[in-house]
Homo-oligomer: A and B are copies of this chain.
Amino acid sequence: MQTELSRHLGIEHAVFGFTPFPAVAAAITRAGGLGVLGAVRYTDPDALRRDLDWMQEHTGGKPYGLDVVMPARKVEGVSEADVEAMIPAGHRHFVRETLARHGVPELAAGDRSGWRITGWMEEVARAQLDAAFDYPVALLANALGPPPADVVTRAHAHGAVVAALAGSARHAARHAAAGIDIVVAQGYEAGGHTGEIATMVLTPEVVRAVDPLPVLAAGGIGNGEQIAAGLALGAQGVWLGSLWLTTDEAELHSPALTAKLLAAGSGDTVRSRALTGKPARQLRTAWTDAWDDPAGPGALPMPLQGLLVAEALSRIQRYEVEPLLGTPVGQIVGRMETRRSVRAVFDELTAGFERAVDRIDRIAGRA
Protein backbone atom coordinates (compact mmCIF):
# COMPACT_ATOMS: atom_id res chain seq x y z
CA MET A 1 0.00 0.00 0.00
CA GLN A 2 2.23 2.72 -1.39
CA THR A 3 1.52 6.35 -2.17
CA GLU A 4 3.77 9.28 -3.00
CA LEU A 5 3.60 10.23 0.70
CA SER A 6 4.44 6.78 2.05
CA ARG A 7 7.42 6.61 -0.31
CA HIS A 8 8.56 10.06 0.79
CA LEU A 9 8.43 8.97 4.44
CA GLY A 10 10.02 5.60 3.73
CA ILE A 11 7.21 3.48 5.16
CA GLU A 12 5.88 0.26 3.68
CA HIS A 13 2.17 0.99 4.06
CA ALA A 14 0.36 4.35 3.96
CA VAL A 15 -1.17 3.66 7.39
CA PHE A 16 -0.69 6.24 10.15
CA GLY A 17 -1.56 5.07 13.65
CA PHE A 18 -2.24 7.61 16.38
CA THR A 19 -1.99 6.36 19.97
CA PRO A 20 -1.13 7.64 23.44
CA PHE A 21 0.93 4.47 24.11
CA PRO A 22 4.62 4.15 23.10
CA ALA A 23 4.40 0.36 22.84
CA VAL A 24 1.53 0.69 20.35
CA ALA A 25 3.24 3.44 18.34
CA ALA A 26 6.46 1.43 18.11
CA ALA A 27 4.58 -1.72 17.06
CA ILE A 28 2.74 0.19 14.31
CA THR A 29 6.05 1.48 12.99
CA ARG A 30 7.62 -1.98 13.19
CA ALA A 31 4.64 -3.44 11.27
CA GLY A 32 5.32 -1.08 8.37
CA GLY A 33 3.10 1.89 9.15
CA LEU A 34 3.93 5.13 10.88
CA GLY A 35 3.24 5.16 14.62
CA VAL A 36 2.35 8.59 16.00
CA LEU A 37 2.66 9.04 19.76
CA GLY A 38 0.17 11.39 21.37
CA ALA A 39 2.08 13.75 23.67
CA VAL A 40 -0.79 15.43 25.50
CA ARG A 41 -0.42 13.43 28.70
CA TYR A 42 3.30 14.20 29.09
CA THR A 43 3.24 17.20 31.39
CA ASP A 44 6.80 16.30 32.36
CA PRO A 45 9.20 16.58 29.39
CA ASP A 46 11.56 14.08 31.05
CA ALA A 47 8.83 11.44 31.00
CA LEU A 48 8.44 12.11 27.28
CA ARG A 49 12.22 11.75 26.81
CA ARG A 50 12.18 8.40 28.60
CA ASP A 51 9.40 7.13 26.33
CA LEU A 52 11.07 8.47 23.20
CA ASP A 53 14.29 6.71 24.28
CA TRP A 54 12.22 3.55 24.50
CA MET A 55 10.66 4.23 21.09
CA GLN A 56 14.15 4.64 19.60
CA GLU A 57 15.17 1.27 20.95
CA HIS A 58 12.05 -0.47 19.68
CA THR A 59 11.55 0.95 16.18
CA GLY A 60 14.77 -0.30 14.57
CA GLY A 61 15.48 2.98 12.80
CA LYS A 62 12.08 3.12 11.15
CA PRO A 63 10.20 6.44 11.23
CA TYR A 64 7.67 7.49 13.87
CA GLY A 65 5.80 10.67 14.72
CA LEU A 66 4.61 12.80 17.60
CA ASP A 67 1.22 14.47 18.09
CA VAL A 68 1.11 17.63 20.20
CA VAL A 69 -1.81 19.85 21.14
CA MET A 70 -0.84 23.42 20.50
CA PRO A 71 -3.24 26.25 19.74
CA ALA A 72 -2.12 28.44 16.84
CA ARG A 73 -3.18 31.53 18.79
CA LYS A 74 -1.18 32.24 21.91
CA VAL A 75 -2.79 33.46 25.12
CA GLU A 76 -0.14 35.58 26.84
CA GLY A 77 0.25 35.77 30.58
CA VAL A 78 -2.61 33.48 31.57
CA SER A 79 -1.81 30.92 34.24
CA GLU A 80 -3.68 27.74 35.12
CA ALA A 81 -4.86 29.56 38.27
CA ASP A 82 -6.34 32.37 36.15
CA VAL A 83 -8.27 29.80 34.11
CA GLU A 84 -9.39 27.97 37.28
CA ALA A 85 -10.87 31.23 38.54
CA MET A 86 -13.18 31.46 35.51
CA ILE A 87 -15.07 28.27 36.38
CA PRO A 88 -18.52 28.96 37.89
CA ALA A 89 -19.23 27.49 41.33
CA GLY A 90 -22.41 25.84 40.00
CA HIS A 91 -20.38 23.77 37.57
CA ARG A 92 -18.01 22.62 40.33
CA HIS A 93 -21.05 21.67 42.39
CA PHE A 94 -22.47 19.67 39.46
CA VAL A 95 -19.21 17.69 39.17
CA ARG A 96 -19.19 16.88 42.90
CA GLU A 97 -22.87 15.92 42.83
CA THR A 98 -22.52 13.67 39.76
CA LEU A 99 -19.51 11.88 41.25
CA ALA A 100 -21.27 11.47 44.62
CA ARG A 101 -24.40 10.07 42.97
CA HIS A 102 -22.26 7.29 41.51
CA GLY A 103 -20.22 6.77 44.68
CA VAL A 104 -16.89 7.73 43.11
CA PRO A 105 -14.18 7.69 45.83
CA GLU A 106 -11.70 10.54 46.38
CA LEU A 107 -8.17 10.02 45.06
CA ALA A 108 -5.58 8.89 47.59
CA ALA A 109 -2.73 11.34 48.21
CA GLY A 110 -0.13 11.06 45.45
CA ASP A 111 -2.62 9.33 43.16
CA ARG A 112 -3.32 12.40 41.04
CA SER A 113 -2.22 11.85 37.50
CA GLY A 114 -3.48 11.38 34.00
CA TRP A 115 -4.94 13.98 31.74
CA ARG A 116 -4.40 17.59 32.87
CA ILE A 117 -5.33 20.89 31.36
CA THR A 118 -1.65 21.75 31.32
CA GLY A 119 -1.11 19.45 28.35
CA TRP A 120 -3.22 21.89 26.38
CA MET A 121 -1.17 24.94 27.21
CA GLU A 122 1.45 26.25 24.89
CA GLU A 123 4.35 26.30 27.32
CA VAL A 124 3.87 22.60 28.02
CA ALA A 125 3.60 21.81 24.32
CA ARG A 126 6.79 23.81 23.71
CA ALA A 127 8.65 21.86 26.41
CA GLN A 128 7.41 18.68 24.73
CA LEU A 129 8.76 19.93 21.41
CA ASP A 130 12.15 20.81 22.92
CA ALA A 131 12.35 17.19 24.03
CA ALA A 132 11.00 15.79 20.76
CA PHE A 133 13.51 17.63 18.60
CA ASP A 134 16.31 15.68 20.32
CA TYR A 135 14.90 12.61 18.51
CA PRO A 136 14.53 11.83 14.80
CA VAL A 137 10.78 12.47 14.82
CA ALA A 138 9.66 12.09 11.19
CA LEU A 139 6.20 13.61 11.54
CA LEU A 140 4.87 16.28 13.85
CA ALA A 141 1.09 16.43 14.07
CA ASN A 142 -1.04 19.04 15.77
CA ALA A 143 -4.55 18.19 16.88
CA LEU A 144 -5.73 21.83 17.04
CA GLY A 145 -5.02 23.07 13.55
CA PRO A 146 -1.63 24.30 12.35
CA PRO A 147 1.11 24.84 14.93
CA PRO A 148 2.60 28.34 15.23
CA ALA A 149 4.79 29.41 12.29
CA ASP A 150 8.08 29.12 14.19
CA VAL A 151 7.26 25.52 15.14
CA VAL A 152 6.60 24.65 11.49
CA THR A 153 9.94 26.22 10.53
CA ARG A 154 11.74 24.34 13.30
CA ALA A 155 10.11 21.02 12.32
CA HIS A 156 11.11 21.51 8.70
CA ALA A 157 14.70 22.34 9.71
CA HIS A 158 14.61 19.12 11.73
CA GLY A 159 13.56 17.18 8.61
CA ALA A 160 10.07 16.43 9.93
CA VAL A 161 6.85 16.84 7.99
CA VAL A 162 4.05 18.71 9.74
CA ALA A 163 0.45 17.44 9.78
CA ALA A 164 -2.67 19.16 11.08
CA LEU A 165 -6.18 17.85 11.63
CA ALA A 166 -9.14 19.50 9.91
CA GLY A 167 -12.87 18.83 10.04
CA SER A 168 -13.83 21.03 7.10
CA ALA A 169 -12.40 22.06 3.74
CA ARG A 170 -12.26 25.67 4.96
CA HIS A 171 -10.09 24.77 7.96
CA ALA A 172 -7.93 22.56 5.75
CA ALA A 173 -7.28 25.42 3.32
CA ARG A 174 -6.30 27.66 6.26
CA HIS A 175 -3.89 24.97 7.53
CA ALA A 176 -2.36 24.63 4.07
CA ALA A 177 -1.80 28.38 3.93
CA ALA A 178 0.08 28.11 7.26
CA GLY A 179 2.76 26.03 5.56
CA ILE A 180 1.98 22.55 6.84
CA ASP A 181 2.72 19.47 4.72
CA ILE A 182 -0.16 17.04 5.35
CA VAL A 183 -3.83 17.53 6.24
CA VAL A 184 -5.59 14.86 8.29
CA ALA A 185 -9.26 15.07 7.21
CA GLN A 186 -11.09 14.01 10.36
CA GLY A 187 -14.67 12.94 9.63
CA TYR A 188 -17.75 13.04 11.86
CA GLU A 189 -17.48 9.33 12.71
CA ALA A 190 -13.94 9.72 14.15
CA GLY A 191 -13.01 9.49 17.80
CA GLY A 192 -11.96 12.71 19.53
CA HIS A 193 -12.56 16.24 18.30
CA THR A 194 -14.55 16.13 15.13
CA GLY A 195 -16.91 18.19 13.00
CA GLU A 196 -20.20 17.23 11.36
CA ILE A 197 -19.03 16.28 7.85
CA ALA A 198 -18.64 12.52 7.38
CA THR A 199 -15.40 11.03 6.02
CA MET A 200 -17.06 9.98 2.74
CA VAL A 201 -17.86 13.63 1.97
CA LEU A 202 -15.02 15.37 3.80
CA THR A 203 -12.06 13.50 2.28
CA PRO A 204 -12.57 14.47 -1.38
CA GLU A 205 -13.52 18.03 -0.35
CA VAL A 206 -10.27 18.42 1.57
CA VAL A 207 -8.24 16.77 -1.19
CA ARG A 208 -9.60 19.35 -3.60
CA ALA A 209 -9.17 22.26 -1.18
CA VAL A 210 -5.46 21.68 -0.45
CA ASP A 211 -4.28 20.12 -3.72
CA PRO A 212 -1.40 19.24 -4.22
CA LEU A 213 -0.81 18.68 -0.46
CA PRO A 214 -1.34 15.07 0.63
CA VAL A 215 -4.39 14.26 2.72
CA LEU A 216 -4.91 11.43 5.21
CA ALA A 217 -8.46 10.10 5.66
CA ALA A 218 -9.45 9.76 9.33
CA GLY A 219 -12.70 8.63 10.88
CA GLY A 220 -14.56 5.37 10.33
CA ILE A 221 -11.44 3.46 9.30
CA GLY A 222 -10.86 0.22 11.16
CA ASN A 223 -10.50 -2.48 8.52
CA GLY A 224 -8.83 -2.99 5.15
CA GLU A 225 -12.03 -2.34 3.20
CA GLN A 226 -12.33 1.04 4.90
CA ILE A 227 -8.69 1.78 4.07
CA ALA A 228 -9.41 1.02 0.41
CA ALA A 229 -12.42 3.33 0.60
CA GLY A 230 -10.38 6.16 2.14
CA LEU A 231 -7.72 5.82 -0.57
CA ALA A 232 -10.39 5.65 -3.30
CA LEU A 233 -11.60 9.03 -2.02
CA GLY A 234 -8.25 10.55 -2.96
CA ALA A 235 -6.35 10.30 0.33
CA GLN A 236 -2.63 9.47 0.24
CA GLY A 237 -2.95 7.49 3.43
CA VAL A 238 -5.22 6.74 6.36
CA TRP A 239 -5.04 7.88 9.98
CA LEU A 240 -6.33 5.38 12.54
CA GLY A 241 -6.67 6.07 16.24
CA SER A 242 -9.49 4.08 17.85
CA LEU A 243 -8.55 0.66 16.55
CA TRP A 244 -5.41 0.36 18.70
CA LEU A 245 -7.19 0.92 22.02
CA THR A 246 -7.98 -2.77 22.47
CA THR A 247 -4.64 -4.13 21.27
CA ASP A 248 -2.45 -6.15 23.63
CA GLU A 249 0.09 -3.34 23.70
CA ALA A 250 -2.38 -0.64 24.77
CA GLU A 251 -1.82 0.42 28.37
CA LEU A 252 -5.37 1.39 29.26
CA HIS A 253 -4.83 -0.01 32.77
CA SER A 254 -8.57 -0.64 33.04
CA PRO A 255 -10.08 -4.05 32.36
CA ALA A 256 -13.52 -2.49 32.78
CA LEU A 257 -12.87 0.11 30.07
CA THR A 258 -11.40 -2.50 27.73
CA ALA A 259 -14.50 -4.65 28.28
CA LYS A 260 -16.75 -1.68 27.52
CA LEU A 261 -14.87 -1.00 24.29
CA LEU A 262 -15.08 -4.63 23.19
CA ALA A 263 -18.81 -4.77 23.97
CA ALA A 264 -19.80 -1.40 22.43
CA GLY A 265 -21.68 -1.12 19.13
CA SER A 266 -21.24 1.59 16.53
CA GLY A 267 -24.23 3.41 18.02
CA ASP A 268 -22.70 3.58 21.50
CA THR A 269 -20.61 6.70 20.93
CA VAL A 270 -21.68 10.31 21.19
CA ARG A 271 -20.22 13.61 19.98
CA SER A 272 -20.16 15.50 23.27
CA ARG A 273 -18.57 18.60 24.77
CA ALA A 274 -18.23 16.80 28.13
CA LEU A 275 -14.50 16.11 27.82
CA THR A 276 -12.90 19.34 26.63
CA GLY A 277 -15.65 21.84 25.85
CA LYS A 278 -15.42 21.20 22.10
CA PRO A 279 -17.43 18.40 20.45
CA ALA A 280 -15.43 15.17 20.71
CA ARG A 281 -16.68 11.67 19.90
CA GLN A 282 -16.39 9.24 22.83
CA LEU A 283 -18.18 6.35 24.44
CA ARG A 284 -21.61 7.41 25.59
CA THR A 285 -21.71 7.07 29.39
CA ALA A 286 -23.68 8.34 32.37
CA TRP A 287 -21.01 11.06 32.47
CA THR A 288 -21.62 12.31 28.91
CA ASP A 289 -25.37 11.99 29.48
CA ALA A 290 -25.08 14.24 32.55
CA TRP A 291 -23.26 16.96 30.59
CA ASP A 292 -25.49 16.64 27.54
CA ASP A 293 -28.70 16.75 29.61
CA PRO A 294 -30.61 20.00 28.85
CA ALA A 295 -31.60 20.04 32.54
CA GLY A 296 -27.93 20.20 33.62
CA PRO A 297 -25.54 23.19 33.48
CA GLY A 298 -23.97 22.02 30.18
CA ALA A 299 -20.28 21.91 29.34
CA LEU A 300 -18.09 25.01 29.65
CA PRO A 301 -16.07 26.21 26.65
CA MET A 302 -12.52 24.94 26.02
CA PRO A 303 -10.22 25.11 28.00
CA LEU A 304 -12.46 25.54 31.08
CA GLN A 305 -14.31 22.23 30.73
CA GLY A 306 -11.08 20.21 30.52
CA LEU A 307 -9.74 21.87 33.65
CA LEU A 308 -13.06 21.45 35.46
CA VAL A 309 -13.33 17.71 34.86
CA ALA A 310 -9.67 16.61 34.92
CA GLU A 311 -9.63 15.34 38.49
CA ALA A 312 -13.09 13.81 38.17
CA LEU A 313 -11.95 11.79 35.14
CA SER A 314 -8.87 10.59 37.04
CA ARG A 315 -11.11 9.41 39.87
CA ILE A 316 -13.53 7.65 37.51
CA GLN A 317 -10.64 5.92 35.75
CA ARG A 318 -8.71 5.09 38.92
CA TYR A 319 -11.70 3.36 40.53
CA GLU A 320 -13.18 2.07 37.25
CA VAL A 321 -16.65 3.39 38.03
CA GLU A 322 -18.34 1.50 35.22
CA PRO A 323 -21.35 3.70 34.35
CA LEU A 324 -19.15 6.81 34.08
CA LEU A 325 -16.12 5.18 32.49
CA GLY A 326 -15.41 6.31 28.94
CA THR A 327 -12.77 7.32 26.42
CA PRO A 328 -12.59 9.11 23.09
CA VAL A 329 -13.33 6.53 20.40
CA GLY A 330 -14.90 6.52 16.95
CA GLN A 331 -17.90 4.68 15.51
CA ILE A 332 -15.66 1.78 14.47
CA VAL A 333 -15.73 0.72 18.13
CA GLY A 334 -18.55 -1.58 16.99
CA ARG A 335 -16.02 -3.76 15.19
CA MET A 336 -13.45 -3.92 18.02
CA GLU A 337 -14.37 -7.37 19.30
CA THR A 338 -11.24 -9.12 20.59
CA ARG A 339 -7.89 -8.18 22.08
CA ARG A 340 -5.11 -8.84 19.62
CA SER A 341 -1.55 -7.72 19.03
CA VAL A 342 -0.87 -4.62 16.97
CA ARG A 343 0.87 -6.90 14.48
CA ALA A 344 -2.23 -9.10 14.08
CA VAL A 345 -4.43 -6.04 13.65
CA PHE A 346 -2.04 -4.53 11.12
CA ASP A 347 -1.75 -7.74 9.11
CA GLU A 348 -5.53 -7.96 8.95
CA LEU A 349 -5.66 -4.36 7.69
CA THR A 350 -3.29 -5.06 4.83
CA ALA A 351 -4.94 -8.38 3.95
CA GLY A 352 -8.38 -6.74 3.99
CA PHE A 353 -7.09 -3.97 1.76
CA GLU A 354 -5.88 -6.52 -0.79
CA ARG A 355 -9.26 -8.30 -0.70
CA ALA A 356 -11.06 -4.99 -1.25
CA VAL A 357 -8.84 -4.21 -4.24
CA ASP A 358 -9.52 -7.69 -5.67
CA ARG A 359 -13.23 -6.98 -5.31
CA ILE A 360 -13.09 -3.53 -6.90
CA ASP A 361 -11.01 -4.89 -9.77
CA ARG A 362 -13.64 -7.58 -10.40
CA ILE A 363 -16.44 -5.00 -10.32
CA ALA A 364 -14.50 -2.83 -12.77
CA GLY A 365 -13.97 -5.84 -15.03
CA ARG A 366 -10.19 -5.83 -14.54
CA ALA A 367 -9.79 -9.24 -12.90
Which of B202, B221, B233, B363 lies in contact with A266, CB distance below 8 A? B202
Q: Given A205-B334, A205-B335, A334-B205, answer yes or no on A231-B267 (Cβ-Cβ < 8 Å).
A: no
Which of B202, B231, B265 lies in contact with A363, CB distance below 8 A? B231
Task: Compute how far the CA of A219 lies from the CA of B220 in the bound complex, rounded to whole angstroms.
Answer: 14
A32-40, A192-200, A314-322 - interface stretch: A192-200
Which of B201, B219, B229, B266 lies in contact with A232, CB distance below 8 A? B229
Task: Compute how far the CA of A332 lies from the CA of B353 in the bound complex, rounded to whole angstroms.
Answer: 26
Check A234–B228 contact: CB distance below 8 A: no
Q: Given A168-B267, A188-B188, A335-B205, answer yes or no on A359-B232 (Cβ-Cβ < 8 Å).
A: yes
Task: Compute how far the CA of A365 lies from the CA of B230 in the bound complex, rounded to whole angstroms.
Answer: 17
Q: Is A14 an interface residue (CB 8 A)?
A: yes
Residue of chain B at shortest CB distance from A196: B267
Check A226–B231 contact: CB distance below 8 A: no
Task: Compute how far the CA of A360 lies from the CA of B199 in the bound complex, rounded to whole angstroms.
Answer: 18
* Identical chains in the assembly: 2
Check A198–B219 contact: CB distance below 8 A: yes
Check A201–B266 contact: CB distance below 8 A: yes
Q: Given A189-B201, A198-B220, answer yes or no on A365-B229 (Cβ-Cβ < 8 Å).
A: no
Check B2–A228 contact: CB distance below 8 A: no
Q: Given A201-B266, A201-B334, answer yes or no on A364-B359 (Cβ-Cβ < 8 Å).
A: no
Check A267–B2 contact: CB distance below 8 A: no
Residue of chain B at shortest CB distance from A189: B198
Check A1–B231 contact: CB distance below 8 A: no
Which of B168, B198, B360 lies in contact with A198, CB distance below 8 A? B198
Interfacial residues of chain A within 1-23, with CB under 8 A of chain B in the complex:
1-3, 14
Task: Compute how far the CA of A14 lies from the CA of B357 in the bound complex, rounded to whole angstroms.
Answer: 17
Q: How far is the CB of A240 from chain B (nearest CB, A)?
A: 12
Task: Compute how far the CA of A204 lies from the CA of B269 in the bound complex, rounded to whole angstroms.
Answer: 18
Q: Is A67 an interface residue (CB 8 A)?
A: no
Check A220–B232 contact: CB distance below 8 A: no
- CB neighbours of A226 from chain B (8 A): 200-201, 204, 233
Most buried by B among A198, A205, A265, A360: A198
Q: Is A361 an interface residue (CB 8 A)?
A: yes
Q: Is A225 an interface residue (CB 8 A)?
A: yes
Q: Is A366 an interface residue (CB 8 A)?
A: yes
Check B360–A197 contact: CB distance below 8 A: no
Binary contact track A209-222/B, C-beta < 8 Å → 1, others 0: 00000000001110
Q: Is A252 an interface residue (CB 8 A)?
A: no
Check A363–B229 contact: CB distance below 8 A: no
Q: Is A187 an interface residue (CB 8 A)?
A: yes
Which of B169, B195, B220, B357 lies in contact with A201, CB distance below 8 A? B220
- CB neighbours of A195 from chain B (8 A): 267
Q: Is A106 an interface residue (CB 8 A)?
A: no
Interfacial residues of chain A within 85-111, with CB under 8 A of chain B in the complex:
none
Residue of chain B at shortest CB distance from A270: B196
Check B221–A364 contact: CB distance below 8 A: no
Task: Compute how far the CA of A234 lies from the CA of B335 in the bound complex, rounded to whole angstroms.
Answer: 15
Q: A196-B267, A198-B198, A201-B331 are in contact. List 10 more A-B contacts (CB 8 A).
A: A1-B363, A169-B334, A187-B198, A198-B331, A200-B219, A204-B223, A225-B232, A228-B232, A232-B356, A232-B359
